């Protein structure tokens, strides 16, 4: 969980290299309380924005992904974060820059609505969604840590 008091705080959750290309989501108001994560797609649909926090942290981490266009015949794929299956129009390769010379990719739901899919699956099976959402958050952070070198920030002791 985290909270943004202004658009400036939201923008600062992204790496400095990404801040110049941010397109704010429509209809957003501040203060903004985010329980699990915040994801939106820019108007053109080329970029997908994700803000989440490391497990046990309240410091938001922003990543901007580029959608890779599906090529060829439609295929079925699995999202690496929520493990939902979908066609190549629903689940595809998302990439993000590590630096000026390297880009990394991961197969994800194109709209990053993993949370809704996990909550729906938990509801249908009569289970509580919290453990599934915690696993989703851990997978998001593992990607940020392993692929982008983002480290968790220690929380001050209250």
pLDDT at residue number 57 = 87
Residue 71 lies in a domain: yes
Residue 155: pLDDT above 60?
no
pLDDT of 158 strictly over 70: no
| Segment of 42-46, 70-74, 119-123 carrying the highest mean pLDDT | 119-123
Considering the domain boundaries, does residue 91 fall inside one?
Answer: yes
DSSP bridge pairs for 2? 34
Q: What DSSP string runs through 25-85?
A: PTT--SSEEESS-EEEE-TTSSEEEEEEE-TT---EEEEEEEEPPP-SS--EEE-TTT--E
Q: Is residue 153 part of a domain?
A: no
User: pLDDT tens digit string along 79-130?
Assistant: 999 999 999 889 999 999 999 899 999 999 999 999 999 999 999 999 999 9
Structure token digits, residue 5: 């008091």
**Domain count of the fold of the chain:** 1
Host domain of residue 25: 2-148
154 domain-assigned: no
In a domain, 155, yes or no: no
Enumerate long-range contacts of 136-142, CB under 8 Å, 24 or more apart: 136/36, 136/81, 136/82, 137/36, 137/37, 137/52, 137/53, 137/55, 138/55, 139/80, 139/81, 140/37, 140/50, 140/52, 140/81, 141/52, 141/54, 141/55, 141/61
Q: Classify residue 77: in a domain, yes or no.
A: yes
Per-residue pLDDT at 9: 96
The reply to whether 54 falls in a domain is: yes
- Is there a domain that residue 157 lies in? no
């Amino acid at each position: 969980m985290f909270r943004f008091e202004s658009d400036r705080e939201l923008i600062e959750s992204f790496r400095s290299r990404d801040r110049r290309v941010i397109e704010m989501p429509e209809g957003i108001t501040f203060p903004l309380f985010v329980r699990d994560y915040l994801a939106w797609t820019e108007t053109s649909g080329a970029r997908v924005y994700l803000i989440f926090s490391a497990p046990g942290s309240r410091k938001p981490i922003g990543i901007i992904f580029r959608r890779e266009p599906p090529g060829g015949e439609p295929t079925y794929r699995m999202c690496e974060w929520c493990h939902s299956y979908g066609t190549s129009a629903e689940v595809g390769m998302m990439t993000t820059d590590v630096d000026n010379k390297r880009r990394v990719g991961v197969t994800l739901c194109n709209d990053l609505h993993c949370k809704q899919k996990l909550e729906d699956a938990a509801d249908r099976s009569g289970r509580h969604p919290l453990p599934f959402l915690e696993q989703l958050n851990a997978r998001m952070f593992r990607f940020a840590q392993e692929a982008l070198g983002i480290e968790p920030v220690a929380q001050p002791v209250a």
